[in-house]
């Protein structure tokens, strides 16, 4: 695939918008679609073609990148009214980038493949800034020939690309395992920093020690730096890890696995979201736990 082939991005919020800007900066023709027209208008001002619905975005695009929130939205933009599937032709490729349940990836992939459309299971990781820089990660599952066909696009989007297998759903499984670890680590970092505060410790110095010692985790350091600064502007909404930890536990249940930490982390995100933090950054776990709201009944 050459940088002259049109790419459609359906869903141009934090991640999709960063991906669109990245491709535009490299000279790719980019078509964008989102229910928030302010987002598409902004991208149109820097060279994207804004289209009214997923159907229009799909027509004439070589690759359609779906970057919405969940399975319900993914099904809607593909197979709902004015969905992309109505405009797809054999040989086009759809990248499924949301974090989805493996069963949903398989089901949606099979529907697309029945139209003779290529499908890549391609959940992403890294946040909006890394999407903009092209330094994010993509987990990839799909036919090797399709991956090879779109190597230039994948390299433009992500400096870290992990080919998991050729079986649709395996990238989703890997992403859920990773995100469950991220959720467990973030809850742990927020908990121990709240404890450090109660002990009267300097939080910045405590986090410096953790970042260079055995308590280190990338997500813990990243989110807790923002929490110490009182910066809870949403980069990654609380509801995202709420969803992802729930999906991970459902996937674990499907294979008969029960662990000691995953369910606890899932419940913390669910409780914090229900407690009024759903629209805030997941760094807000710190202030929630500091206030004693995470204590068991």
Predicted local confidence at residue 295, as pLDDT: 54
Same domain, 251 and 128: no
Same domain, 102 and 177: no
Query: Percent helix, strand, coil in the chain (nearest 5)?
Result: 55, 15, 30
Whether the pLDDT of residue 2 is over 60: the answer is no
Q: What is the mean pLDDT of the chain?
A: 95
Predicted local confidence at residue 107, as pLDDT: 97
Same domain, 83 and 108: yes
What tens digit of pLDDT does each residue of 172-231 get? 999 999 999 999 999 999 999 999 999 999 999 999 999 999 999 999 999 999 999 999
Instruction: Kindly give the pairing relationship between strand 63-66 and strand 93-96.
Output: parallel
Same domain, 149 and 212: no
Question: Catalytic pick from 2, 39, 175, 287?
Answer: 175
What percentage of the chain has pLDDT greater than the value 90?
93
Q: Confirm whether 200 is domain-assigned.
A: yes
Report the pLDDT averaged over residues 280-285: 95
**What phi and psi, each to the nearest 5 degrees, are found at residue 33?**
-150, 135
Establish whether 175 is a catalytic residue: yes
Distance CA 78, CA 83 (A): 5
Q: Confirm whether 297 is domain-assigned.
A: no
Same domain, 113 and 194: no
Same domain, 113 and 43: yes
Whether the pLDDT of residue 88 is over 80: the answer is yes
Number of domains the chain contains: 2
Same domain, 220 and 279: yes
Least confident of 79-83, 124-128, 221-225, 293-297: 293-297
Q: What would the two tokens of residue 85 be?
A: 């599937």
Identify the CATH number of the domain in which residue 257 sits: 1.10.1040.10
Whether the pLDDT of residue 1 is over 60: the answer is no
Predicted local confidence at residue 7, as pLDDT: 97
Whether the pLDDT of residue 4 is over 80: the answer is no
Predicted local confidence at residue 297, as pLDDT: 46
pTM surpassing 0.85? yes
Residue 4: name the closest of 20, 19, 26 by CA.
26
Instruction: State which residues form the domain around 178.
Output: 173-290
Q: Confirm whether 80 is domain-assigned.
A: yes
Identify the CATH number of the domain in which residue 80 sits: 3.40.50.720
Whether the pLDDT of residue 3 is over 70: the answer is no
Report the pLDDT averaged over residues 274-295: 90
Signed CA dihedral, 276, 278, 284, 288: sign only:
positive
């Amino acid at each position: 695939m050459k940088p002259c082939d049109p790419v459609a991005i359906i869903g141009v919020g934090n991640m999709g918008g960063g991906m669109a800007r990245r491709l535009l900066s490299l000279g790719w023709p980019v078509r964008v679609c989102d229910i928030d027209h302010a987002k598409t208008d902004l991208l149109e001002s820097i060279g994207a073609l804004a289209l009214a619905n997923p159907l229009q975005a799909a027509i004439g695009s070589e690759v359609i990148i779906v970057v919405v929130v969940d399975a319900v939205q993914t099904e809607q933009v593909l197979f709902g009214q004015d969905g992309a599937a109505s405009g797809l032709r054999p040989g086009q490729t759809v990248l499924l980038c949301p974090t989805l349940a493996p069963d949903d990836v398989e089901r949606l992939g099979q529907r697309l493949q029945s139209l003779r459309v290529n499908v890549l299971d391609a959940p992403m990781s890294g946040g909006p800034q890394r999407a903009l820089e092209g330094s994010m990660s993509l987990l990839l599952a799909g036919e090797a020939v399709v991956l090879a066909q779109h190597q230039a696009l994948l390299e433009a989007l992500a400096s870290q690309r992990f080919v998991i297998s050729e079986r649709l759903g395996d990238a989703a499984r890997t992403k859920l395992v990773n995100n469950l670890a991220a959720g467990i680590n973030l809850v742990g970092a927020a908990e121990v920093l709240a404890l450090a505060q109660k002990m009267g410790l300097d939080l910045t110095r405590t986090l410096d020690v953790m970042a260079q010692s055995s308590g280190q985790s990338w997500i813990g350091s990243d989110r807790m730096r923002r929490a110490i600064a009182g910066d809870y502007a949403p980069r990654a909404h609380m509801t995202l890890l709420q969803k992802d930890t729930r999906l991970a536990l459902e996937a674990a249940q499907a294979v008969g696995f029960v662990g000691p930490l995953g369910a606890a982390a899932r419940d913390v995100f669910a409780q914090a979201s229900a407690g009024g933090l759903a629209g805030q950054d997941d760094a807000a776990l710190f202030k929630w736990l500091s206030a004693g709201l995470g204590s068991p009944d």
